[in-house]
Amino acid sequence: QKEVEQNSGPLSVPEGAIASLNCTYSDRGSQSFFWYRQYSGKSPELIMFIYSNGDKEDGRFTAQLNKASQYVSLLIRDSQPSDSATYLCAGTSIGGYQKVTFGTGTKLQVIP
């Protein structure tokens, strides 16, 4: 079982819609979670991080964390074609050395 799992997609949404990206994790020791956006051929770019249960909003992005369900999500409101990319979910554990484990990513396509 992979430690961080994502649906590889592609997830297609029309321009202006809400895109919902989901991620589950198996390590209950995971404390912090990150969403990165990666355009083809480029390196990952941080979108958001979250470490408390609940929602965290930043502009058009909302990250949601439910530690009881071991579930993390990212909502993108008013999706734009420029949001088309692969979105990587990552989790880290506290205690000992900080190791970040990435999912395989979900490819998002925003259709104009």
Under rule CB under 8 A, residue 91 binds other proteins: no
Among 16, 53, 98, 111, binds other proteins (CB under 8 A): 98
Report strand pairing: 4-5 vs 19-25.
Answer: antiparallel
Minimum CB separation of residue 70 from other proteins in Å reads: 18
Ranges within 49-88 binding other proteins (CB under 8 A): 49, 51, 88
% helix, strand, coil for the chain, step of 5? 5, 55, 40
Residue 83, helix vs strand vs coil: helix
For residues 46 and 103, give the distance between their C-alpha atoms in angstroms, rounded to a whole number: 14
Neighbouring residues of 46: CB distance < 8 A, sequence distance ≥ 6 = 34, 35, 36
Tell me how many residues contact other proteins (CB under 8 A). 26
CB closer to other proteins, 34 vs 84: 34
* Site of interaction with other proteins (CB under 8 A): 4, 8, 31-32, 34, 36, 42-46, 49, 51, 88, 90, 92, 94, 97-105
